[in-house]
């Protein structure tokens, strides 16, 4: 179980993978603050789906690419539920249009870097003192399949650069904060389609896939891994990058022309 006093903050926690992670902690009685950018309908939907847990929910609006917004959102979270002891950096802007590095505008590049990398630095700065005082903290970041190997990713350069940089940042936090009882780990989801991001594992058997486990990945798969990293039982696990792919990351991929 996660730390009994843990106030959980999930960036972009109202839909997609973040929603399933939020549900995981809410079901276990944890106060959960979720940030969102603009979609208030997702906030209302989650409230309707879990009316018995509404007293544990707290929503803060803001743009994770802006340092001032991050500071404000964390401050509002602290005022509502106390220090953030579990920080889950789920938010990650993504350019769906495939484009070469030379085709990126400076604005697009900055959005990817600030949203996926710099935002983690700002969230960390806003939360770390409370974790140090409690001598307990859990920081979970998100990468992508094969991120630990820093691969090139054609037409996804900005996102890949930010996330592979985040691998190093996560490991650095793990080393620097270990003496304070703070761990930092990364989860790297495999290819989880849009409809499955908010799905439970029981639903995935209907979406067969070529992965060794024989089913599609779901948001619940990610939530379970995040839940372990957030738990007291994971205190000896830090600086770890965990690929959650149903075995796809260990299958030899032969390139054909």
The pLDDT of residue 190 is: 85
Overall domain count for the chain = 1
The pLDDT of residue 209 is: 59
Query: Which domain does 190 fall in, by range?
Result: 8-244
Q: What are phi and psi of 31, to 5 degrees?
A: -65, 130
Per-residue pLDDT of the chain (257 residues; tens, 9 = 90+): 456 668 999 999 999 999 999 999 999 999 999 999 999 999 999 999 999 999 999 999 999 999 999 999 999 999 999 999 999 999 988 878 899 999 999 999 999 999 999 999 999 999 999 999 999 999 999 999 888 888 888 998 999 999 999 999 999 999 999 999 999 999 999 877 665 565 565 555 555 556 677 777 788 999 999 999 999 999 999 999 999 988 766 554 544 43
Strands laid side by side in the 182-189 sheet? 57-61, 32-36, 7-10, 84-89, 137-142, 182-189, 241-244
Those residues with Cβ within 8 angstroms of residue 206's Cβ, 6 or more apart along the chain or in another chain? none
For residue 183, tell me if it sits in a domain.
yes
The pLDDT of residue 126 is: 99
For residue 39, tell me if it sits in a domain.
yes
235 by DSSP, 3-state: which?
Answer: coil
What is the CATH classification number for the domain harbouring 53? Answer: 3.40.50.720
In whole angstroms, what is the distance from residue 60 CA to residue 62 CA?
Answer: 7
The pLDDT of residue 153 is: 86
For residue 41, tell me if it sits in a domain.
yes
The pLDDT of residue 197 is: 62
Pull the structure tokens for residue 24: 């995981």
For residue 89, tell me if it sits in a domain.
yes
The pLDDT of residue 149 is: 87
Residues in the chain: 257
For residue 250, tell me if it sits in a domain.
no
In whole angstroms, what is the distance from residue 256 CA to residue 142 CA?
Answer: 30
Pull the structure tokens for residue 171: 């490991």
Q: What are phi and psi of 180, to 5 degrees?
A: -95, 5
In order of 39, 49, 163, the CA distances from 143 in angstroms are 24, 28, 5
For residue 3, tell me if it sits in a domain.
no
For residue 12, tell me if it sits in a domain.
yes
Pull the structure tokens for residue 190: 């495999």
For residue 133, tell me if it sits in a domain.
yes
pTM score over 0.75: yes
The pLDDT of residue 222 is: 94
């Amino acid at each position: 179980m996660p730390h009994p006093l843990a106030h959980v903050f999930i960036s972009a926690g109202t839909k997609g993978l973040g929603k399933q992670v939020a549900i995981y902690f809410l079901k276990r009685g944890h106060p959960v603050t979720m940030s969102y950018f603009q979609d208030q309908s997702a906030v209302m939907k989650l409230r309707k789906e879990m009316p018995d847990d509404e007293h544990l929910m707290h929503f803060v609006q803001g743009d994770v690419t802006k340092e001032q917004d991050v500071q404000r959102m964390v401050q509002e979270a602290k005022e509502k539920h106390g220090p953030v002891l579990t920080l889950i950096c789920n938010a990650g802007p993504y350019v769906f249009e495939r484009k070469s590095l030379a085709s990126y505008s400076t604005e697009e590049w900055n959005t990817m870097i600030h949203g996926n990398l710099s935002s983690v630095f700002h969230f960390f700065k806003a939360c770390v003192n409370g974790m140090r005082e409690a001598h307990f903290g859990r920081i979970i970041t998100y990468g992508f399949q094969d991120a630990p190997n820093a691969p090139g990713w054609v037409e996804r350069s900005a996102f890949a650069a930010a996330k592979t940089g985040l691998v190093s940042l996560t490991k650095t936090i793990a080393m620097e904060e270990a003496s304070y009882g703070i761990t930092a780990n990364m989860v790297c989801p495999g290819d989880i389609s849009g409809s499955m991001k908010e799905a439970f594992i029981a639903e995935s058997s209907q979406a067969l896939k070529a992965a060794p486990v024989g089913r599609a990945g779901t948001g619940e798969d990610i939530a379970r891994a995040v839940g372990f990293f957030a738990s007291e039982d994971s205190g000896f696990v830090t600086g770890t990058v965990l690929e959650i792919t149903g075995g796809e990351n260990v299958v030899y991929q032969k390139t054909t022309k």
